[in-house]
Amino acid sequence: MTIRMSVMWTVKMLGLAVVALPLGVELLGLLLRRLRPARTLNEVLFFPSELACVEHIFTSLSPGAVLALHARGVVVRILSDRDYIAISGSQIGVLRKAGICVRCDANSVHMHHKFALVDGRLLITGSLNWTLTAVQSNTENLVVTEEAELLRPFAEEFHRLWERNDPARCLHPKRPKHNSDSRTYDCQRPR
Amino acid sequence: MTIRMSVMWTVKMLGLAVVALPLGVELLGLLLRRLRPARTLNEVLFFPSELACVEHIFTSLSPGAVLALHARGVVVRILSDRDYIAISGSQIGVLRKAGICVRCDANSVHMHHKFALVDGRLLITGSLNWTLTAVQSNTENLVVTEEAELLRPFAEEFHRLWERNDPARCLHPKRPKHNSDSRTYDCQRPR
């Protein structure tokens, strides 16, 4: 009877092991996946780069990458420096005419940010002004990251500046530097 | 005898458990520490900020933060845009006079980078030109990060530009824009 009990106990333990082993492996896998999340994109681009083929994006004769996205129904919001709109080669007018919502910062000497947020999950930021000269001739950098700790503050900053420069709230901009056309504050929504 | 064997077996298993349990906990702790490394600094600063008290850093009457570091024996290397040296308010002359090694980029239209590397472990980069106007009046950002994937390319870029603009190699800079004083390429080492 003792031998029978001992055999039964061994069988029970084996059965328990058969259940516990895959369960343990599965739990360990789950733990590892939670502790080591999917790889976060962190890249840096430097300019001038011989690999950068960007002329077609910047020329006003072609629709450009931003216009193409807008045409596909992607919601694009652009916040620009007020002075930049008037400079030679600025594409802001082209973008506005296409119906893209553009607002201009009227509360600082220069809206010097040069960042973009893509789908709320990718941040592109750096020294690079989004111009052809900057890409082709200057020594510039561009950080491309999915890092949430960096992305979140930039998203909040964009939201803050976007709301601050809402034309409905901002009929009398504080900055006295220009008496420029107030239409630059409007969002055109022709379609 | 069977009871004695069973008791001995139980004692053995208990002994094994006493050893295996702390060993397992220790190994799990080790695994967790390896998988979740020490927190990497990722911060973003936005300007203008009311909290920024930076006047004393920028004024030429006080030694400034960089001069103070240099005086303490910290090796400081500065790579500047060639045109920036000549503009009003530039502190490059003050830094060079103090013996800080300054090189100027002579191979691009503008050396538009605005980054600093601290002790090879901290990257400070963004839209911010390191000027008082930028800090006090412009809408600007500054990323402060220890993220190795971002830091490494910037360190390589600094090294590349530093070597490219070595005055010993660069007696005849390619850029024909200026015929300015060649001393701007020298590193003064008065002490």
Question: What CA–CA distance (Å, rounded) separates A141 from A135?
Answer: 9
- Which DSSP helix (H) or strand (E) runs through B125? strand B122-126
> Chain B residues with CB inside 8 Å of A126's CB?
125-127
pLDDT band at A175 (very low <50, low <70, confident <90, very high): very low
Quote the pLDDT of residue A64: 79
**ipTM of the complex in this document:** 0.72
Interface contact flag, A149 B43, Cβ < 8 Å: yes
Interface contact flag, B108 A35, Cβ < 8 Å: no
Question: What CA–CA distance (Å, rounded) separates A21 from A30?
Answer: 14
Q: A60 is written with which tokens?
A: 């006003």
Whether the predicted pLDDT of A189 surpasses 60: no
DSSP label at residue B98:
T
Nearest to B102 by CA among B118, B89, B91, B115: B91
Q: Answer whether the bond into residue B48 is a cis peptide, omega within 30°.
A: yes
Residues 6+ apart with CB under 8 A from A104: A79, A80, A81, A82, A85, A111, A165, A184, A185
Which pLDDT tens digit goes with each residue over A125-161?
A: 999 988 888 888 899 999 999 999 999 999 999 999 9
Q: Which of B112, B126, B157 sits opposite A134 (nearest CB)?
A: B112
Quote the pLDDT of residue A177: 44
Q: Answer whether the bond into residue A48 is a cis peptide, omega within 30°.
A: yes
> Chain A residues with CB inside 8 Å of B9's CB?
none
Indicate the fold that domain B2-171 takes in CATH: Endonuclease; Chain A (3.30.870)
pTM beyond 0.90: no
DSSP label at residue B111:
B
Which pLDDT tens digit goes with each residue over B116-160?
A: 999 999 999 999 988 888 888 899 999 999 999 999 999 999 999
